[in-house]
Structure 1
Amino acid sequence: MTYLRSSCATFSEFSTINGTSTQNVTVMVDVDPCACVNEESVTESKNFDFNRTTAGTYVLNFKKADGTFLTHTIVVS
């Protein structure tokens, strides 16, 4: 997953809310106001592990900064 973050923040974790076949994912960051020199944005990539052994169609909703979701559908057979 690639996302944009403030240069004052560092990646903390992925926060997930799980439904039966839907998973909402939010990137969580730790903000250090003392580290802010300017309001630069940094593009960063992290792996998000999705492991399912049960066959089915799963929907991953990755929350964007504007509150909308980027949706990916994964079919496990």
Structure 2
Amino acid sequence: MLAAAAGVTVVALVTAGVAVVARRRPPAIGAVTMGPGGWVSLRGARVPALRPATPRPWWARLLRARRLVVQR
């Protein structure tokens, strides 16, 4: 009886270990290297998502304020 309980425990621990390893995510970025001139290069880095458009505050609507956007 004791051997069977130990066997079941070992199988459960191995199964849980395999599940944890299988769910591990790959690194967010690839290799970090030094580029020419001392710049840091991040290969495989994703471009950050744009911020969602937030509603204008009440005071901006009241004053009819506009965003400051630099025209190039």
TM-score by length of 1: 0.17
Higher share of residues assigned helix: 2
TM-score by length of 2: 0.18
- The higher relative CO (CA closer than 8 Å, separation ≥ 6) is in 1
Q: Which has the larger radius of gyration?
A: 2
Higher share of residues assigned strand: 1
